[in-house]
Amino acid sequence: MTVKIGVLALQGAVSEHIKALKDSGAETIAVKDASQLEELDGLVLPGGESTTMRRLMDKYGLFDAIKIFAKKKAIFGTCAGLILMAKEIEGRKGPHLGLLDIDVKRNAFGSQVDSFESDLKIDHVAESFDGVFIRAPYIKKVGPGVEILSTYNQHIVACRQGRFLACAFHPELTGDTHFHEYFVKITKENK
């Protein structure tokens, strides 16, 4: 069974996500319009700057459409995408999409100059995965229905809650498709 997964194309490494999804066996498109969501089985919310992405989602009529889409479909958020999916964000009143029962800290590992890579063990994904952290958040706390998939220095950096998957790093920048393959599997199971 083939699934069609879109990548929200407002900012971030959209083409890299598209390539990783294609290499993982999915059909894919860059999503710039809410009407495109109707043809999709899953959606990737890429990295970028979460506040800017939210403004652009509002501007292009995507915010409410993604909330409706999320009621039945699979979503994978990376870095800023994780922040958009969180129910609680440190220092902000209220969530953006509020899909994942998690509490996140933005820019938790420092600014752009503090970016780094680290070898991670990610449950269900890989024993060894190169985590690329760029102004990355981390997950401070998870709710009872959230599975922790990976940690770095005792901080949660990847999780899953049902059809929702999220990570604090950038798997699309590594050339390793294991994480995207896992999302394709989740999307197929949800279809």
Residues 91-147 pLDDT 10s: 999 899 999 999 999 888 877 777 899 999 999 999 999 999 998 999 999 999 999
Task: Confirm or deny that 92 is annotated as ligand binding.
Answer: no
Phi and psi (nearest 5°) for 75?
-135, 140
pLDDT of residue 17: 98
Q: Provide the angle, in degrees to the nearest 10, between the axes of the packed helices 178-190 and 14-23.
A: 70
65's CB contacts (< 8 A; 6+ apart) are: 34, 37
Give CA–CA dist 166/44, Å, rounded: 9
Residue in 17, 96, 172, 181 annotated catalytic:
172
What is the average pLDDT score of the chain?
95
Task: Confirm or deny that 50 is annotated as ligand binding.
Answer: yes
pLDDT of residue 44: 98
Task: Confirm or deny that 160 is annotated as ligand binding.
Answer: no
User: Stretch 5-10: mean pLDDT, rounded?
Assistant: 97
pLDDT of residue 97: 97
The secondary structure element, H or E, covering residue 30 is strand 27-31
Residue in 16, 17, 79, 180 annotated catalytic:
79
Give CA–CA dist 95/83, Å, rounded: 8
Q: Write out pLDDT tens, residues 45-101.
A: 999 999 999 999 999 999 999 999 999 999 999 999 999 999 999 999 989 999 999
Q: Write out pLDDT tens, residues 174-188.
A: 999 999 999 999 999
pLDDT of residue 115: 87
Asked about 189 being catalytic, the answer comes back as: no
Please, what are the domains in the chain?
A: 4-190 (3.40.50.880)
- 54 token code pair: 């939210």
Give CA–CA dist 92/49, Å, rounded: 14
Per the CB < 8 A criterion, the answer to whether 110 and 136 are in contact is no
pLDDT of residue 102: 98
Task: Confirm or deny that 117 is annotated as ligand binding.
Answer: no
pLDDT of residue 1: 86
- 116-120-123 Cα angle (round to 5): 145
Residue in 16, 17, 159, 170 annotated catalytic:
170
Give CA–CA dist 122/95, Å, rounded: 26
Q: Write out pLDDT tens, residues 18-30.
A: 999 999 999 999 9
Per the CB < 8 A criterion, the answer to whether 66 and 35 are in contact is no
pLDDT of residue 14: 97
Of all residues in the chain, the percent with pLDDT exceeding 90 is: 89
* Residue type for position 31: V
Give CA–CA dist 26/181, Å, rounded: 9
Give CA–CA dist 153/168, Å, rounded: 13
The secondary structure element, H or E, covering residue 183 is helix 178-190
- Three-state secondary structure call for residue 51: helix
Asked about 79 being catalytic, the answer comes back as: yes
Q: Write out pLDDT tens, residues 165-174.
A: 999 999 999 9
Asked about 172 being catalytic, the answer comes back as: yes
Task: Confirm or deny that 48 is annotated as ligand binding.
Answer: yes
Say what the pTM is: 0.96
